[in-house]
Structure 1
Amino acid sequence: MSFLIYQCSKIEQIIVCSLFGLYFIYLLLKKYSALKNVLALFLILAAVSVTLNRLHPTFSLTSSSSIELYPDQINLKDNWLTGVGKVKGTPVLVTATITDMQKKQLERGYQVVLTELNGEVKKIDQATNYGQFDLRKYYLGKNVTQQVNLKSCHIKTRVVGIINYLHYLRFCLQSYFKKMPQLLCFFSSELILGENPSQANQSILDHYRDLGVIHILSISGLHVGIYTILISTICCYFKLTEFETFACCVPLLLGGIFFSNYQAGFIRASLSYFLSQMLKFHRFPIAKLDLLGLTCLIHLLIDPRLMMQAGALLSYVLSLGLAITDKLPNFKQSLLLNIFLVPLLLFFFFQLNLLTVIFNLLIVPYFNYIILPLTFINLLTFSLVPSMGAAFEKILMLGEQQIGSLSASKIGLLTFGKINWWQCLLLISLTVILLADQNEPYFNRSQRKWLFQSIGWLYLILFLMIHFPLTGQVTFIDVGQGDSILITTPFPRRAYLIDTGGKLNFSKQKVRPQINKITLPFLKAQGISRLNGIFVTHKDTDHIGDLGPLMSQIPVERLYFAQGLMANPSFKKRIEKHIKLNQLVQLLAGQEIKEPQIKFNIVYPFKPGQGENKDCLSIFFKVSNKSWLFTGDLDQEGEQKLMAKYNLQANYFKLGHHGSKTSSNPDFLHKLAPEIVFISAGRNNRFGHPHVETIATLKKLGIPWVSTQDCGMISWTYSKFTKPKFNRFLK
């Protein structure tokens, strides 16, 4: 019901989900025929729960509007606040500009009420590119559908109530952890609070993720096991009964759920413990798989949107695998569990590490016997002996350096590409059958061999379809206020990028590059792990701000740019650590870059410049009998010079300078005679792009246009077997 209501958007998904649902109901009735009335009651409760969670109360700002927030759930960056608050019980995402005085109020740690609100209410931003993390869907999984952007507000502090006190304690823990050295702060926050305290730690998470061991940082069964064993040992010392021990564990685990910010893995493990103990006290025997199923059903009853969270889905699938393979030797179990998770990893993250089993054998002992003890010892001693924390930090630094080196080597890391929902479901279903057979053999030798081969062939076919496509593309990546265009050819695929996009960072804190959120996930989703070339049009940050970070994470064969740009110190600094001199190609009008299946003609500039708008590298090429022209931010004077020299005509043209009136000369557009033009510009950008003068010119000339502002990513695909077509990410 959860998948059917919240995640099925296509008729085929609804049919498949309904069939699975009917099959599972049949199994329940078959196995527990004596509990028909209980199951019927449960289905009614589930229907009510799902229905209530489908309601999305909306609101608008009025003079009496107020928002309640807890400081432990707020992120403060300079004078910018983000967090989830409540308006009359309805959760909303809040962003606000605050003063230094208001910042001090928030740092006191008590619940605050925002009043005298001046701002706007809107929907949460959604993903606008293929492969991009969808913030709207993420918050929808938490039943948050609206965002309030405040320009100003008044803050009042509230210090009453047990809930407020619990949040205050959690805030105190956050503050305590922030006083620790970086790694101890990171591990303490991850393992106790279930959160990353700073963007500066993102590289650590990336290292664990690339090695396929990110799960060890999750708050889940390991932590529940540690807490219950600790309490049980103490209770045993005081000779308490088993029921009394259970009664002591319950409040501790409930507190752990709260302090971990309701992490799905911790709730799952805690629920399993509660249910197993209660059923044990009532002498009701239950199998591991049934216990997991009951836990999942109750968890879904509490939170019907649970499976919209990738972490929750992975947690339950991993637990299912553990329950199915509980009789297997450790190494074989670990190998099969990693195979079991592969479909979900490819669906959500588009890559996997083939050596994950080996890395688990290396890193899990380091985590269990070094990270965990040092972190928890430091929690108890840091306020008394800070120097001990400094010594622990040095030990952890040595370990993390080794993990970072392993991750940087990219050994075993395979960029597979994104598989779709039915491919993921099919692979999971086949792998469940494989795991069940390994635990308790059902098939004969030939049937087992056929199953292995079927799964292997399916992965191979999907890999070949992604990495050896029959189609090429020209894709305008929605990088906001900037340019980035991907060009690929059909099999054998070659990939080129015109500019990378980028943003100026006005914050004092280090900001994660935009390409890590947009461009790299898009490339990985298509199975692209290297670029044959990057064309740099000019020096502006909105075109090449992410050039350095991109080249540090993905191999690039050639970097093309106009002559004279190397004299620019900032450009030289961007690239010097990431590429060799023999990979740099300086260009002027009249030169050609002949590549298999495509030839890039350089039509501007005519003489070396300094990488300014008037010197923009301009590129003309043809694919599938259609011609394309890209001129970066070239101004009107440059457009006229270009047309006077070449008298070009192009089917498709990207408007210069994001639709600014400084480009798009009417005579130039008239002679170019494009079928359609494209605008790459940010939503609500401070420059007002595209300018009304440019739109008026297009209307006068009868030239249609599309913009990334409205359509998100725009792709034009072609092949020898089908007609070229356009696809807009936002319908």
Structure 2
Amino acid sequence: MFLIIFCLLLIYKFPQYWHLVAIFLGVITTLCFINQRTSELEIGEPILIYSDQVKVSDNFFYGEGKIGKNKVLVNGSANKSFEKELNKYHVVYLVNYKAKVETIMPATNPGEFDYQKYYRSKKIRERVKLESYQIYPKHIVVFDWVHMLRKFLMNYFEKMPQYTRFFASEMVLAQNPSTDNKVLLNSYRDLGIIHLLSISGLHVSLYILGITWLGTVMKRTEEEVTILCVTFLVIEILLSNFQAGFVRASLSYFWSVFFKRKEIMVSSGDKLGIVVLTHLLFNPLLFLSSGAILSYLLVLGLEISKDFKKIRQNFALNLLITPILLHNFYRINFLTVIYNFLIVPIFNFILLPLTFIVIFLFWCLPATVKLSEPIFKGLADLTNFIADKQLGLVTFGQINWLQTIFLLVVTVFLIILPKHMIQKLKLRSMIVGAYVSIFCLIHFPLKGQISFIDVGQGDSILITTPLNRKTYLIDTGGKLNFGKRKSEPQLNRITIPFLYAQGIDHLDGVFLSHQDADHIGDLKALLDQIPVKKLYFAKGLTDNQSFRRKINGHLKDVQLVPLLAGDKVKTKDLNFDVVYPFKPGLGKNEDSLSLTFKLANKRWLFTGDLCREGEKEILNHYNLQVDYFKLGHHGSKTSSDPDFLKQLNPQLVFISSGRDNRFGHPHQETLKTLKDLSIPYLNTQDSGTITWNYSPFNSETITTFYKGNTK
């Protein structure tokens, strides 16, 4: 309703900007179609698989498939014939299969990337986990050739060295071929130039320019050149898997051709509105994608600021997209305008032309990569070097949708109002005041928290204090690999975004309970990305070689503080008392660092993976009673001794355990103990991140992110 009223007011006062209405109608259309689906999923029907849409790794395949009219995620074991037949036929059916169907999980932590929302924008809702299947080749039709061409290009690019392959894949297929380039991608994002890696209007213009030049050289007619441009763009739309920016720019060209042939005079603003509505006809869920929102918002910004000088226009465009960036990515670089001026010319006149030269020549002159790869690597190293300095980069924190819409609306009015108006000065003051106020509320919060982050089968707990915020982490979480190939630290997709969303860019202290991977496996990844003042751990852990490897390279940056029972960690707002271990160890479960402290007159206890024998030792030395307790060892029956729990007498306990974990945590014996003692519990596997908030006025609330419950 708010958007509709805004659109009507805008078109009444500024009728020349009616195309804004089309964009906002697009947002409303997306909201209306979110919960609609094509048809019911019929399990048992053949699953259509294209070779370019699945990946095979370590005898396992995963990717996208199709059952009837419905797209699904599909994964399963890749038997010996799977990859061979997939590469042979490229388009196959999986038949006679046994499968488990799951709805794609949403984000279970604040700040975490929401795969459910992402795949919903691609009209995918379910994940099909195959237990067994048979593979059957499909009869090839015309549309299948596009997927075959895409797979051919993927294999073609795979033969190129790392950086040449990276740019070729990004520019043609709109995809990053491997995880080797995560650092470079993060550098582009931190500098605010990530848009250069998305094929968009710039590439459409270059394609059209190149084809037109080629047509002129070959003395082709204008109509023949136009047909060739349209054909090429349609093929590239398919090859780029309908990348939003490229589709938008291509639709703009198609409509320009149509209007020119029909001799219809249409302004650029009107054409933008028509493009939005056309795009929505093909993809009603378009604006679930932040990439699509940014693409259209930038074009809108170019349209409403077309009379600005270049530098002023760049500032206006960056101001316009800032709310979307802060809502989705939480960090912003205030020197983005400068970085764009420095890097965009290099990208346009060196990287982009060289990429396409190598693509066209590599098949006959493979040695061309000897020229391209050093250039690509040198420029990538330069980009990484600049990004590492973090000049201008600010961890602002996440703004909510109401704040995002408010800032967008005010920014649009600021851009379209004439110069030197009193209203414009008021709008500038309003924007500055809004950003400063939001920043202060995020970085100097009125409430503190204890958050049990949903890191799966592991532990990671964030503790913060209100106002002059202090930040502490108990354990980092980490993934147990069980002999599988080492994957990217899960901290990168869970804990780091969680911290950034709250504007946290450093930690005052990290407490390490013991050596297990599910507790401190991501410690090195954390130290590599977040400044940490002090590491607290049980005495003797430094004798553990695995732990030493994790902290090597950071010994000058962080202070190491070994602890034993009886020690205290005193800070201005919070004091930690160590109640275990009583003697040094090597960081095993029985050596788990155990802490108790008080916040808002509520006592807490954390015992890591401490076993029952250790719990009894604590009982023998301390007469502890607590309000809240994090169950030891993820709810395992080896912890949570009934006498221990009875003595503690907590009003609520917390369990951190993974969904469908192989250990069966929490064990039924533990849950029975809790029931017998009438102790309620909350579990991250059911509730996602669990947060206890408190204020200086002693009010407290407990919220669960996944279910949104409040107790």
TMscore range, shorter length: over 0.9
Q: For 1:337-387, what per-residue CA distance to the aligned partner results, in whole angstroms no more than 9, with x for missing partners?
A: 111111110010001011111111111112112211221111112122222
Task: Between 523-532 and 332-341, report the one with greater CA deviation.
Answer: 332-341
Note if 1:17 corresponds to 2:3: yes
Q: Structure 1 residues 713 and 363 mapped into 2: Cα distance closer, same or farther (>3 Å)?
A: same
Distance 2:70 2:153 in 1: 27
Q: Which residue of 2 aligns with 1:632?
A: 608
Contact 2:56 2:78 in 1 (8 A): no
Q: Which residue of 2 aligns with 1:160?
A: 140
Note if 1:67 corresponds to 2:54: no
Q: 1:16 is aligned with what amino acid?
A: F
Q: Which residue of 1 aligns with 2:36?
A: 54
Distance 1:321 1:722 in 2: 46
Q: Which residue of 2 aligns with 1:562?
A: 538
User: Any residues of structure 2 matched to 1:526-545 within 5 Å, and which?
Assistant: 526-545=502-521
Q: For 1:112-132, what per-residue CA distance to the aligned partner results, in whole angstroms no more than 9, with x for missing partners?
A: 111121220110121100010
In the alignment, structure 2 segments of 5+ residues that lack a partner are none
Q: SS at the partner of 1:148?
A: strand
Q: Structure 1 residues 25 and 116 mapped into 2: Cα distance closer, same or farther (>3 Å)?
A: farther
Contact 2:30 2:287 in 1 (8 A): no
Cα distance, 1:48 vs structure 2: 13
Distance 2:87 2:551 in 1: 41
Q: SS at the partner of 2:52?
A: helix
Q: For 1:426-447, what per-residue CA distance to the aligned partner results, in whole angstroms no more than 9, with x for missing partners?
A: 111111122223xxx2552x43
Note if 1:361 corresponds to 2:341: yes
Q: Structure 1 residues 365 and 506 mapped into 2: Cα distance closer, same or farther (>3 Å)?
A: farther
Distance 2:187 2:254 in 1: 35
Task: Between 352-361 and 503-512, report the one with greater CA deviation.
Answer: 503-512
Q: 2:355 is aligned with what amino acid?
A: T
Q: Which residue of 2 aligns with 1:415?
A: 395
Return the match for 1:384 from 364, 370, 373: 364
Q: 1:153 is aligned with what amino acid?
A: Y
Distance 2:307 2:135 in 1: 58
Q: For 1:22-52, what per-residue CA distance to the aligned partner results, in whole angstroms no more than 9, with x for missing partners?
A: 5578799x7799xxxxx9xxx9xx9899669
Distance 1:423 1:581 in 2: 37
Return the match for 1:471 from 447, 460, 464: 447
Matched positions, count: 701
Note if 1:243 corresponds to 2:229: no
Distance 1:47 1:404 in 2: 40
Distance 1:110 1:23 in 2: 53
Distance 1:225 1:532 in 2: 50
Distance 2:558 2:226 in 1: 68
User: Any residues of structure 2 matched to 1:167-566 within 5 Å, and which?
Assistant: 167-437=147-417, 441=418, 443-444=420-421, 446-505=422-481, 511-566=487-542
Q: SS at the partner of 2:269?
A: helix
Contact 2:37 2:123 in 1 (8 A): no
Q: Structure 1 residues 32 and 724 mapped into 2: Cα distance closer, same or farther (>3 Å)?
A: closer
Contact 1:72 1:109 in 2 (8 A): no
Distance 1:724 1:455 in 2: 32
Contact 1:112 1:156 in 2 (8 A): yes
Q: Which residue of 2 aligns with 1:680?
A: 656
Task: Between 72-81 and 127-136, report the one with greater CA deviation.
Answer: 72-81
Q: Which residue of 2 aligns with 1:112?
A: 92
Q: SS at the partner of 2:88?
A: coil
Q: SS at the partner of 1:226?
A: helix
Cα distance, 1:508 vs structure 2: 6.5
Return the match for 2:80 from 100, 124, 129: 100
Contact 2:533 2:557 in 1 (8 A): no
Task: Between 16-25 and 461-470, report the one with greater CA deviation.
Answer: 16-25
Q: SS at the partner of 1:527?
A: coil
Distance 2:7 2:633 in 1: 53
Q: For 1:238-273, what per-residue CA distance to the aligned partner results, in whole angstroms no more than 9, with x for missing partners?
A: 444433332221111101100111001001000011
Q: 2:208 is aligned with what amino acid?
A: T
Distance 1:19 1:336 in 2: 25
Q: SS at the partner of 1:107?
A: helix
Q: SS at the partner of 1:236?
A: helix
Return the match for 2:584 from 592, 602, 608: 608
Q: Structure 1 residues 60 and 88 mapped into 2: Cα distance closer, same or farther (>3 Å)?
A: closer
Q: Which residue of 1 aligns with 2:596?
A: 620
Cα distance, 1:20 vs structure 2: 3.9
In the alignment, structure 1 segments of 5+ residues that lack a partner are 1-14, 34-38
Q: 2:2 is aligned with what amino acid?
A: V
Q: 2:209 is aligned with what amino acid?
A: I
Q: Structure 1 residues 234 and 384 mapped into 2: Cα distance closer, same or farther (>3 Å)?
A: closer
Contact 1:78 1:507 in 2 (8 A): no
Q: SS at the partner of 1:607?
A: coil
Distance 1:411 1:112 in 2: 50
Distance 1:303 1:507 in 2: 42
Q: Which residue of 2 aligns with 1:4?
A: none
Cα distance, 1:19 vs structure 2: 2.7
Q: 1:479 is aligned with what amino acid?
A: V
Note if 1:660 corresponds to 2:660: no
Return the match for 1:643 from 601, 608, 619: 619
Return the match for 1:700 from 672, 676, 680: 676
Report the TM-score when normalising by structure 2. Answer: 0.95
Q: Which residue of 2 aligns with 1:572?
A: 548
Distance 1:572 1:239 in 2: 69
Contact 2:30 2:288 in 1 (8 A): no
Q: 2:115 is aligned with what amino acid?
A: L
Q: SS at the partner of 2:510?
A: strand
Q: Structure 1 residues 607 and 52 mapped into 2: Cα distance closer, same or farther (>3 Å)?
A: closer
Q: For 1:438-465, what per-residue CA distance to the aligned partner results, in whole angstroms no more than 9, with x for missing partners?
A: xxx2552x43322222111111111011
Distance 1:59 1:320 in 2: 38
Distance 2:209 2:482 in 1: 49
Q: SS at the partner of 2:500?
A: helix
Q: For 1:606-627, what per-residue CA distance to the aligned partner results, in whole angstroms no more than 9, with x for missing partners?
A: 0101100001000000000000
Contact 1:79 1:103 in 2 (8 A): no
Cα distance, 1:416 vs structure 2: 0.1
Aligned CA-pair RMSD: 2.2
Distance 1:252 1:399 in 2: 30
Q: SS at the partner of 1:678?
A: strand
Cα distance, 1:642 vs structure 2: 0.5
Task: Between 542-551 and 96-105, report the one with greater CA deviation.
Answer: 96-105
Contact 2:539 2:563 in 1 (8 A): yes
Contact 1:53 1:143 in 2 (8 A): no
Percent of counterpart pairs with the same letter? 48
Q: For 1:378-408, what per-residue CA distance to the aligned partner results, in whole angstroms no more than 9, with x for missing partners?
A: 1112122222202210111111111111111
Distance 1:50 1:617 in 2: 51
Q: Structure 1 residues 334 and 506 mapped into 2: Cα distance closer, same or farther (>3 Å)?
A: farther
Q: 1:556 is aligned with what amino acid?
A: V
Q: For 1:284-319, what per-residue CA distance to the aligned partner results, in whole angstroms no more than 9, with x for missing partners?
A: 212211111110111112111000011000000011
Return the match for 1:671 from 647, 652, 657: 647
Q: SS at the partner of 1:556?
A: coil
